[in-house]
Amino acid sequence: METCIIVSDLHMNYGHVAAVDGVSFDVDYGKVFGFLGPNGAGKTTTIKVLTTLVHPTSGNVSIFGKDVVKNAREIKKRIGVVLQEPSFEGNLTVEKALDLYGIMWGVAGERRRDRARELFDRFDLAELRSKKNDELSIGQRRRVQVAREFMHDMDLLFLDEPTVGLDPAARRTLLDYVKKHVHGGLTVFFTTHIMEEVEYLCDEMAIINKGKIMAIDTPAGLKQKYGGVKAVEIKLRGAKAKSVMEIVKPLAEGSAIEIPAEDTIRVSSAEAQDMLVKMIQALAKNSVQIESVSVNSPTLEEVFLTVVNGGS
């Protein structure tokens, strides 16, 4: 049994709003699946169906080989969920909140204390353990919310924008902690708006827009497919970029020529390799020496914008 999540033709309507409109995808065990899309695309709604919180309007969802509607209780026991909206008792201390969570999941006394100790350490919460939730900053609360989910063992974890409000160090800590558990066999369904996180963590990703999946592939595969334009950059030796503008301009075919540094020219092109060859030839012909060249791949952010805006 290789597949952890199987979603086929999932629809979820809120009245007349088709929040999820015919979505299908699979996630294998031990993989991280990234779910991206603009605000209101249907990410949280999909998570709510997959975590048994709401019933789908139509379609099939199977988790661990079991139907999500018929076997909700059984599935719930083996999953963890960090929802987008924070949920906790404001009056509880961090320590108490983690302990209660452990009790809720039936984690025995000693193990509960050990686990909490590890999480305080890992998520840098030691100093906050006797603070009440209401006294925490937004990022601190988010860290507690994610940490407490790890109080119990699970096979599948849903994280809905878990890094919102986290500083870069806390974000990296969280991603690394998740990564470590993935290596231990955990499967993760992850939403975020931050492309670097997808690149860092996800084996596969889908881009959803208006309830429909627009693209699905590995991050590298999507970059290749939708990358399109690449930037050609040439660093000159002993010459100023401005002085070679007249040589380069006729080759740029209308695209803007940038000067990111005094000795560097950059041109964007859909045929970057050809453009690079032509530029090198023209510069050589004019006896301009070249220090280095590069062709930069598109970022995932560019891919996202291309997919969501329907191509450029």
In the chain, the amino acid numbered 307 is V
Task: Write down the least CB distance from residue 133 to ligand ATP, Å.
Answer: 22
Q: Which is nearer to Mg ion, 129 or 193 (CB)?
A: 193
Partner in contact with 42, chosen from ligand ATP, Mg ion, none, beta carbon below 5 to 8 Å by kind: ligand ATP
Binding-site size for Mg ion (CB under 5 A) equals 3
Q: Is 46 in the site for Mg ion (CB under 5 A)?
A: no
Task: Write down the least CB distance from residue 19 to ligand ATP, Å.
Answer: 3
C-alpha to C-alpha distance for 78 and 49, rounded to whole angstroms: 15
Residues 6+ apart with CB under 8 A from 73: none
Q: Which is nearer to ligand ATP, 30 or 59 (CB)?
A: 59
Q: Which is nearer to Mg ion, 35 or 64 (CB)?
A: 35
Task: Write down the least CB distance from residue 108 to ligand ATP, Å.
Answer: 36
Q: Which is nearer to ligand ATP, 19 or 214 (CB)?
A: 19
Q: Which is nearer to ligand ATP, 7 or 98 (CB)?
A: 7
**Is the Cβ–Cβ distance between 4 and 156 less than 8 Å?**
yes
Helix ranges, 23-167 (H): 43-50, 72-77, 94-104, 109-122, 138-149
Sites of contact with ligand ATP (CB under 6 A)? 14, 17, 19, 37, 39-45, 84
Task: Write down the least CB distance from residue 35 to ligand ATP, Å.
Answer: 8
C-alpha to C-alpha distance for 176 and 248, rounded to whole angstroms: 45
Run of H or E residues at 246: helix 245-248
Q: Which is nearer to ligand ATP, 42 or 56 (CB)?
A: 42
Q: Which SS3 state, helix, strand or coil, does residue 19 take?
A: strand
Q: Is 192 in the site for Mg ion (CB under 5 A)?
A: no
Task: Write down the least CB distance from residue 158 to Mg ion, Å.
Answer: 12
Partner in contact with 219, chosen from ligand ATP, Mg ion, none, beta carbon below 5 to 8 Å by kind: none
The bridge status of strand 289-296 relative to strand 230-237 is: antiparallel
Residues 6+ apart with CB under 8 A from 96: none
Task: Write down the least CB distance from residue 219 to Mg ion, Å.
Answer: 20
Q: Is 44 in the site for Mg ion (CB under 5 A)?
A: yes
**Smallest Cα–Cα separation from 67: which of 153, 20, 1, 8?**
8
Partner in contact with 45, chosen from ligand ATP, Mg ion, none, beta carbon below 5 to 8 Å by kind: ligand ATP
Question: Look-up: residue for tokens 């999909």?
Answer: 46
Partner in contact with 41, chosen from ligand ATP, Mg ion, none, beta carbon below 5 to 8 Å by kind: ligand ATP
Any long-range contacts for 240-245 (C-beta under 8 Å, 24+ apart)? 241/265, 244/283, 244/286, 244/288
C-alpha to C-alpha distance for 3 and 175, rounded to whole angstroms: 23
Q: Which is nearer to Mg ion, 17 or 259 (CB)?
A: 17
Which 59-98 residues touch Mg ion, going by CB under 5 A?
A: 84
Angle, helices 138-149 vs 168-183, to 10°: value is 10
Task: Write down the least CB distance from residue 309 to ligand ATP, Å.
Answer: 16
C-alpha to C-alpha distance for 165 and 137, rounded to whole angstroms: 9
The residues binding Mg ion (CB under 5 A) are 43-44, 84
